[in-house]
Amino acid sequence: DSGVTQTPKHLITATGQRVTLRCSPRSGDLSVYWYQQSLDQGLQFLIHYYNGEERAKGNILERFSAQQFPDLHSELNLSSLELGDSALYFCASSPHLRPGPNQPQHFGDGTRLSIL
């Protein structure tokens, strides 16, 4: 158990819909990262929050948005969903701004999103 909690584990919805994925980081971790992993693809970085502030953006679509709340949990909002958005969405957390020795990113079990 990594200590990172993601809900829901599975989500099935239709094109055009909007969903919210939730992540609770490990206790004490200030950084939260979101990644997308499509079938047989690598981990694509989406966005990073540190202590409530956005710190880095990757290849995140304009239809996607995220935020980190004062209690440090984070939500990833996906709207106007398309078939190609079907993927595993992982959240990871780490204690500080950058991963380092004894401070790696720890990953949640992911949310599997299926668009029908």
Residues found near other proteins in the complex (CB under 8 A): 2, 31, 33, 35, 41-43, 45, 48, 50, 55-56, 58, 88, 90, 97-102, 104-110, 112
- Please report the beta strands in the chain, taking only residues with DSSP state E, as ranges in sequence order: 5-7, 10-13, 19-24, 31-37, 44-50, 53-57, 64-68, 74-78, 87-94, 106-107, 111-115
For the bound state, the minimum distance from the C-beta of residue 56 to other proteins, rounded and expressed in Å, comes to 5
Report the nearest approach of other proteins to the CB of residue 35 (Å): 8
Min dist. Cβ of residue 48 to other proteins (A): 5
